[in-house]
Structure 1
Amino acid sequence: MAARTVKRRHVASRLSCKMLILFSVSLFCVVVLVAAAIFTLHSNNSNSFKPLIRISRVFHGPPKIAFLFLVRRNIPLDFLWGAFFQNGDVSNFSIYVHSSPGFVLDDSTSRSHFFYGRQLTNSIQVSWGESSMIQAERLLLSAALEDPANQRFVLLSDSCVPMYNFSYVYNYIMLSPRSFVDSFLDAKEGRYNPNMSPKIPREKWRKGSQWFTLVRRHAEVIVDDDVIFSTFKRYCKRRPPIDTRKGKLNLQLQKQHNCIPDEHYVQTLLALHGLEGELERRTLTYTLWNQSATKTDNKGWHPFTFSYANASPRRMKEIKGINHVYYETEYRIEWCRTNSTFVPCFLFARKFSKGAAMRLLSDGVIDQLEVSALLGNTQ
């Protein structure tokens, strides 16, 4: 009787082992199938933007500033930027250009060798007031992050000019451990869409200039983001201009939220990540705004374009003399500092015509400024 009991237990034990093995094999197969399904779904969705970052932060040599040019086709002021980069050490900077798809920068399309071959090969068609603008910014950041020596990232337009020489700009930016991002509460305009909640709560909604200067960690946050970018693509859209042919339909169209993605995305994303304490909440790029109205648009603010006549040394000196920025919605005065040293607010300016840029170059406006002025509180 005891022998039969032992035998039954042995058989039961063998059955238990077999069932455990079968369960383990089944579980493994399920995991493999789920992984395959996820891979297939990702492959089928390959048209969506998913940047790949090489995380390595190890690099040799000096840290570099990545100058990111977001342009339509070529760089009209390349002759001025060529002179700017000529006075810098090539080991201290890198250049990336987002132009229209298929456009190539070479000796037939650029007057400066610094831009040859610097265009992205995966650029997209960009339209003002659409999410394609911030997607292009993300593409520039993604490309620049491939080089671990790039530690600062400066976004510039095709009408931007430098206000100082390379040495001053480099030290100004590198001496600060913070990003420079124009960011303030958007309390007056109806750009926030309640449908963005809860992913983007109203109290985290920010507005500001798109022309940023970022430290590497903040650039990685932007490129790694998918959730907030997708929300912007869906809910942050420019209101269509008034079309007299649509008659009463215009009234309905003008009730839509008029959201300009590039004036909100970076600011809001960094606020959502709790990073505002790591920012100088101002831009390094000066813009003069004029209020105007057209037949197809209500009164709004538009950037003033500097011509040869109004790009005088005196005017440029006035811009260089600005030392603070006032934010009305927050009753905040942002005194301009880098590494606790008070400095001029702006290193770059826009929008400049070719004639204005030629005058800056001939008048020597991009002059030498003693770097020791930046080191006053650090020595």
Structure 2
Amino acid sequence: MGIFAKELSTFQITTTIIFWLSLSFFVVILGMFINDKYKNIIVYEDIYFPPLPPNNSSCTSATSSPSSSSSSSHNAGVDEFKDWVSPKDVWHSMSDQELLWRASMAPRIAEYPFNRTAKVAFMFLARGSLPLAPLWEMFFRGHEGLFSIYLHVSPQFTYNEPPQSSVFYKRRIPSKAVQWGRASMIDAERRLLANALLDASNERFVLLSETCIPLFNFSFIYTYLVNSEKSFLGLFDDPRKMGRGRYNKRMYPTVALSDWRKGSQWFEANRRLALQIVSDVVYYPVFRQHCAPPCYMDEHYLPTLANVVCPHLTANRSVTWADWSAGGSHPATFVGRDVTEEFLDGVRFGEKCSYNNNGGVTNNVCFLFGRKFHPSTLQPLLRFGPKLFGSN
């Protein structure tokens, strides 16, 4: 009996120890579980319920009262939006791929959420400096808010930043080397268009060179372009060797011979056509691969693209005059002695054309710009400036 009682006592002690150990282990596990859940709750609260901003009403924050803090935050938002729809600076670090993607964006809502005044983007594709800049300065003077300027300057040429008072000050965009007649020329044109499209107020886009001059005053040219129902780009079906003869059969079926067109490199486009140009990923690769001299992309790519995707958007003519009467690969270059009043009037009013399908009535102003003008023409052009930029 004593042995049995002793064994029972040992069993009770062992059972009690096991029980308390089990209970302790359960408590520890439960504590860890609760602690883990508590941490998760705190994390979620931090995510969905961020702490309130500090109370700036304290006298220790005299330079940052609640009202001034709220105003500053609000203005920052407004400035951020303004800079988004109308960037102040044209220099950036975007690659061409990033730039074209950004510029191809177009709002689906037609009504603008800000007061928008249509602007004309003047896009200069230049080798180096702008020798005729003083004439352009005279042209732009007094019309701020109605135009934007973009300069594409080949990196191999020295470019000296103009003074801060100039309309060309800090208007140079990130640029790359350009070869005449090659795909790099189209790359530069698309680069200019893409940068100009970043400003939502730019409605018309004119491609110019350093040898171009304006033939009328700013108000006349602005009104002519902004009120135009068409873009100004030639879409000619030229059956000659220098036209259809440059077509490469390897472009088929993306580009058929019946689609092939020719036109002046110096175009003017409205915003809708400009968006088509920078967002093209179908026809540009075909041209880049199969159009090399004697096929010149700057004469065929944009005319063919416009003919395929939106022929109804163009007037099938350029607004930039040049003299091709001597033939050859380049138009005539004019020097100082060529610039006379009779010569300029002949350029400005020497042809007839249609404008906005006005019932067949012809217009005697077909060209708004002229090329190619040598730097020696600057002084005579400045003398004729009052006539050129007077009341048109």
Query: TM-score of the superposition, structure 1-length normalised?
Result: 0.71
- Pair 1:51-2:100 in alignment: yes
Q: What is the CA-CA distance between 1:226 and the residue it aligns to?
A: 1.7
Give 1:65's match in structure 2, choosing from 116, 120, 124.
120
CA contact (8 A) 1:323 1:336 kept: no
- Pair 1:93-2:147 in alignment: yes
- Write the letter of the residue equivalent to 1:367: F
Task: Write the mapping of 1:284-363 to structure 2, written as runs, cut at 5 A.
Answer: 284-291=319-326, 300-324=328-352, 335-338=353-356, 340=358, 342-363=363-384
Task: Write the mapping of 1:1-379 to structure 2, written as runs, cut at 5 A.
Answer: 51-52=100-101, 53=103, 54-56=105-107, 58=112, 59-87=114-142, 89-101=143-155, 106-107=161-162, 113-121=166-174, 123-189=175-241, 190-238=245-293, 258-273=294-309, 275-291=310-326, 300-324=328-352, 335-338=353-356, 340=358, 342-364=363-385, 365-370=387-392
Distance in 2 (CA, whole Å) between partners of 1:281 and 1:107 is 36
- Write the letter of the residue equivalent to 1:260: Y
- Write the letter of the residue equivalent to 1:100: S
Structure 1, residues 102-148: CA drift from partner, whole Å, max 9, x if none?
8655236x9x7111110112x11001010100110000000011111
Distance in 1 (CA, whole Å) between partners of 2:239 and 2:98 is 31
Structure 1, residues 348-378: CA drift from partner, whole Å, max 9, x if none?
00000122132122123413244xxxxxxxx
- Write the letter of the residue equivalent to 2:205: F
Q: Percent identity of the aligned residues? A: 38
Q: What is the CA-CA distance between 1:217 and the residue it aligns to?
A: 0.5
Structure 1, residues 267-319: CA drift from partner, whole Å, max 9, x if none?
1001111x212211100000001436xxxxxxx34211111111111011111
- Write the letter of the residue equivalent to 2:263: G
Distance in 2 (CA, whole Å) between partners of 1:302 and 1:106 is 29
CA contact (8 A) 1:290 1:302 kept: no
Distance in 2 (CA, whole Å) between partners of 1:49 and 1:61 is 26
| Alpha-carbon distance change, 48 to 161 in structure 1, aligned in 2, over 3 angstroms | same
Largest Rg, 1 or 2 = 2
Distance in 1 (CA, whole Å) between partners of 2:388 and 2:127 is 25
Q: What is the CA-CA distance between 1:101 and the residue it aligns to?
A: 3.0
Distance in 2 (CA, whole Å) between partners of 1:186 and 1:268 is 12
Partner secondary structure for residue 100 of structure 2: coil
Partner of 1:297: none
CA contact (8 A) 1:105 1:115 kept: no
- Write the letter of the residue equivalent to 2:233: V
CA-based RMSD: 2.1
- Write the letter of the residue equivalent to 2:373: F
Partner secondary structure for residue 337 of structure 2: coil
Q: What is the CA-CA distance between 1:209 and the residue it aligns to?
A: 0.3
- In structure 1, the gaps of 5 or more residues are 1-45, 239-257, 293-299, 325-334, 371-379
Structure whose residues are more often strand by fraction: 1
CA contact (8 A) 2:99 2:195 kept: no
CA contact (8 A) 1:70 1:136 kept: yes
- Write the letter of the residue equivalent to 1:95: I
Query: TM-score of the superposition, structure 2-length normalised?
Result: 0.68
Distance in 1 (CA, whole Å) between partners of 2:259 and 2:99 is 24
Q: What is the CA-CA distance between 1:155 and the residue it aligns to?
A: 0.4
Structure whose residues are more often helix by fraction: 2
CA contact (8 A) 2:273 2:313 kept: no
CA contact (8 A) 1:178 1:280 kept: yes
- In structure 2, the gaps of 5 or more residues are 1-94
Partner secondary structure for residue 302 of structure 2: helix
CA contact (8 A) 2:178 2:188 kept: yes
| Alpha-carbon distance change, 50 to 191 in structure 1, aligned in 2, over 3 angstroms | farther
CA contact (8 A) 1:181 1:280 kept: yes
